[in-house]
A and B are shown apart, each in its own frame.
Chain A
Amino acid sequence: MSKNKKIFFQIVLMFALLGFTGILINNLIINLTRTDIGFKFNWLIKPASFSLAEHSLPYSPSDSYAWALFIGWINSLKVIISSLILATCIGTLIGFLRVGKNSFFRITTAGFITIVRQTPLLIQLMCWYFVGFLSIRNNTFLNIRNILNISNKGIEFFGLYLSSEFSALLLGLSIFSSAFIAEVIRGGIQSVPLGQWEAYRSLGISEKQGFFKIIIPQALPAFIPGLTSQYLNLAKNSTLAIAVGYSDIYAINDTIINQTGRAIECFIILLFSFLILNLLITKVMGIIDKSIMRSRI
């Protein structure tokens, strides 16, 4: 095929695709008008008139729906980022133990991964919340001076107060994701050819040094794609917050849909909020990936 033909073909394909999308969007708008659902966003500036238990920024029921949604987004972000960090720490530790020499740890971590991976997250979350936190009957489970206090109201750590809803979600999400992350770590480590282990051993390098200085740097590039996909899953799974009463963006959306009846708009906002969030995660992971690749050259 000549170059001109190729370009012509590309242009035709592009127009066909644009036309197709146009038809779909047109169809959607027609259908929305016909079913009388319409497509408006002016309700966003009206007062929300519902209160929220948790907000990191000032919020009152007389603030607008848009602000309530933003507060929800911040709440989501808060739980996603903290779970992401906690899950990575737990997951990495478990992943290391899973491939380690200690057979006791190898078996227990394998058991942990099996149980956590084979049960639904929703059930785990409810378990953490209703069975874990709320069933602390006499109000206090653990109280170490004024440093750590775990009760059915939540966790208090050095004056930092985490509600039981947030704590349950944080723990549930982190533990669930950590099992997957552990498997990513194990896969990455096992992708390093056996020869490398033999090589550092034959050079007389200690196990610890060999593992962290020889094996891990080679396994790192294999971690990134798996980790990225686990992080994206974690972010999306955070919408299960609604099951444990945490005011994340999905829960707030739910209330707004009910008050305004604007389900389509709300879901589009929700979709884009998560799209932006996940594109950010992908971007950051891409940068990390690139810097690792560069450091290897």
Chain B
Amino acid sequence: MNLKNMINRLFFGIAAFGFLLTGCASNKQENISRLSLIQERDELICGVSGKIPGFSFIERDGNFKGLDVDICKAFAASIIGDSEKIQFRPLTAAERFLAIKTGDIDLLSRNTTFTLSRDSSGGNGLTFAPVVFHDGQGLMVKKESGIDSIQGLANKSICVGSGTTTEQNINDTFESLSLPYIPIKYQDLNQVVAGYLQGRCQAMTSDRSQLAAARSGFKNAKDHIILDDVLSKEPLAPASDGSEQKLADAMRWTVFALIAAEEQGITQSNIDDKVQLAKNNPQLKSLRRFLGIDGGLGEKIGLRNDFVVKVIKATGNYGEIYDRNLGKNSDVPIPRGLNEIYSKGGLHISPPFN
């Protein structure tokens, strides 16, 4: 093949590639907010992981289940009014942000750590809803290895998921302690687990909740210990496109509604009674505002006034969602700790619905 021929081919190739890209980029509709778009479509497209038990996992019956999934359902209930009108899109860690930016998904509820660069317009250009799970990065080792602290992992191999904050944190931690280590990177949490179990690495690292979730599936869960060292803060939060203010507001207040409902003891089973109570008692001003009887709060954020009622009916309050997926009797029990509401010593708190 001569040079001229090559250049010709290159030229056609670039043209075809450009065509492809334009195709991808131009399917975003103009002048209509994402929130209205979801309502018109009558379906919410929600990006999840699909691989983390307790957060988002495909059950035997083919349905998605988990805390992240329930948060999606709460969003669908508040935005569309029906928690079943959702299309779940399983995404890898690397795919998730572009999927939002190109408009392939409406929002992300995929154990994503809230960080400055992800939230900023100069970075990933997202906007985060309030934190739905406070996590921290940890390390899991085999009991028989005798390793009981980070120092014991010097010069050892550590299995880590690529394309996550995890990868950066482990590097920051080991570098600040001047400990050498060998990172073995896999794209997928399942592979990280396989690499660790098969003995390719002496330790695996991930968010502590994910370590607990993974360990719950091991044959001999007791043979593995999660070290006490917490390498980072990992506040996990849903996210949406930073330029979609209305959608961000709707998401923000949906999460707050879940927390506020728990603060006020409003649950899936007593919501109807509470609505009745508020209707009959005009003096219960704040309850009436919260449940959308007075004040027209929902309208202000582009939702129906009774969106809180729809949400609680669909998923229950934050505590109920937590217990269902991560509570004592669930498949992946994780103590609530920081994830209690503020009045019980946790970090979840809702600003007033005024």
* Contact pick for A258, options B13, B164, B181, B199, CB 8 Å: B164
Chain B residues, Cβ within 8 Å of A279:
6
Q: B14 and A261: CB pair below 8 A?
A: no
* Contact pick for A259, options B6, B11, B168, CB 8 Å: B168
Stretch at the interface among B18-26, B43-51, B303-311, B341-349: B18-26
Q: A49 and B14: CB pair below 8 A?
A: no
Taken together as a complex, chains A and B put the C-alpha atoms of A35 and B167 apart, in Å, by 28
Q: Which residues of chain B from 1 to 56 have a CB within 8 Å of any chain A CB? A: 1, 6, 10-11, 13-15, 17-19, 21-22, 25-26, 28, 30
Is B338 in contact with chain A by the CB < 8 A criterion?
A: no
Residue interface bits A112-142, CB-to-B below 8 A is 1, else 0: 0000000000000000001000110101000
Q: B123 and A49: CB pair below 8 A?
A: no
Q: A251 and B93: CB pair below 8 A?
A: no
Q: Which residues of chain B from 96 to 145 have a CB within 8 Å of any chain A CB? A: 97-98, 101-103, 117-118, 121, 123-125
Q: B1 and A251: CB pair below 8 A?
A: no
Chain A residues, Cβ within 8 Å of B21:
24, 28, 264
* Contact pick for A254, options B162, B172, B183, B243, CB 8 Å: B162
Q: B94 and A61: CB pair below 8 A?
A: no
Chain B residues, Cβ within 8 Å of A282:
1, 6
Q: Which residues of chain B from 56 to 112 have a CB within 8 Å of any chain A CB? A: 93-94, 97-98, 101-103
Q: A251 and B185: CB pair below 8 A?
A: yes
Count B-side interface residues using an 8 Å CB cutoff.
55
Q: B101 and A17: CB pair below 8 A?
A: no
A contact residues vs B (CB 8 Å cutoff)? 17, 20-21, 24-25, 27-28, 31-32, 34-37, 49-53, 61, 130, 134-135, 137, 139, 152-153, 164-165, 242-243, 245, 247, 251, 254-255, 257-261, 263-264, 271, 275, 279, 282-283, 286
Q: B163 and A245: CB pair below 8 A?
A: no
Write 22 A-B pairs (CB below 8 A) sorted by A numbering: A27-B25, A28-B22, A31-B26, A34-B30, A36-B243, A134-B198, A134-B199, A137-B199, A153-B200, A164-B200, A243-B187, A245-B184, A245-B195, A251-B162, A255-B94, A257-B98, A258-B94, A258-B163, A261-B118, A261-B125, A263-B101, A282-B6
Chain B residues, Cβ within 8 Å of A34:
28, 30
